[in-house]
Amino acid sequence: MLAALLAAAAGPAGAQGYLRSPPAGPAVPARVPELKPWDGVVAPPLELADLQGNSHRLADYRGKVVLVNFWATWCTPCRDEMPSIERLRNALAGRPFAVLAVNVGETERAAREFLEKMPLKFAILLDRNLQASRAWGARILPASYLVAPNGAIRYHYFGELDWAREDVVRTITQMMA
């Protein structure tokens, strides 16, 4: 009985029924993830403490391009993209660029334990009460925003991205001009 129903649903012999696989065609190349332009609104305020208790205000970074990255230790794509953010930081060392990695809703201990396994040289800020994450609309992790030297958000990306990729570095370098 089931075989007869499936055959009927597939349509007459040789027809393209919805239960059949589509014919094989040429492979479609995978899309390279791209930074998404933002409308250039001024970034929401951001003031959080780092793991040493020092306060970081986004406003204090005016004149620099700032990558604001919302992440968590339980988020696999967040963990996977951290080495590329560190490579980006190294590639732009000495230039007007900074990284503010905002840990979302976790304890200082969780962030410190993560850093023991993956040493990073950029600022790790703690958003324990999720207030900053909400203000920035970071509902998906990782959520990243590139803030121009004038304080306006120019680009964003939700999900994992290779931040050390040549086109990404070029975009950030152009923002510095």
* Pure H helices in the chain: 2-10, 76-91, 108-117, 131-136, 166-176
Q: Tell me: the pLDDT tens digits for 17-34?
A: 333 334 455 554 556 788
- Tokens linked to 125: 């800020």
Distance from C-alpha of 114 to C-alpha of 132, rounded to nearest angstrom: 21
- Tokens linked to 169: 């570095």
**Residue 57 within a domain:** yes
Query: What pLDDT, on the 0 to 100 scale, is given for residue 24?
Result: 54
**Residue 25 within a domain:** no
Distance from C-alpha of 50 to C-alpha of 138, rounded to nearest angstrom: 19
- Tell me which residue range forms the domain holding 45: 36-176
pTM above 0.85, yes or no: no
**Residue 145 within a domain:** yes
Cα dihedral 105, 45, 151, 96 in deg (nearest 10) = -50
Distance from C-alpha of 111 to C-alpha of 104, rounded to nearest angstrom: 10
**CATH number of the domain encompassing residue 101:** 3.40.30.10
Distance from C-alpha of 152 to C-alpha of 9, rounded to nearest angstrom: 55
- Of 65, 53, 44, nearest to 154 (Cα)? 65
Q: How many domains does the chain have?
A: 1
Query: What pLDDT, on the 0 to 100 scale, is given for residue 53?
Result: 96
| Lowest-confidence region among 1-5, 32-36, 59-63, 130-134 | 1-5
